[in-house]
Amino acid sequence: MENNLIKLFDPLKAKMLADNGFEYMLEDIGGKKAYVFCVSEELLSFSQKCFEKNSFFLDNTLRF
pLDDT at 1: 55
Q: Total domain count for the chain?
A: 1
Does any domain span residue 64? no
pLDDT at 41: 93
Does any domain span residue 30? yes
Does any domain span residue 62? no
Q: What is the pTM of this model?
A: 0.89
**C-alpha neighbours within 13 Å on the C-beta side of residue 59:** 14
Is residue 46 a contact partner of residue 20, using CB atoms and an 8 Å limit?
yes
Does any domain span residue 51? yes
Q: What digits encode the pLDDT tens for the residues 8-49?
A: 999 999 999 999 999 999 999 999 999 999 999 999 999 888
Does any domain span residue 23? yes
53: confidence class by pLDDT, cuts 50, 70, 90: confident
Domain of residue 36 covers 5-57
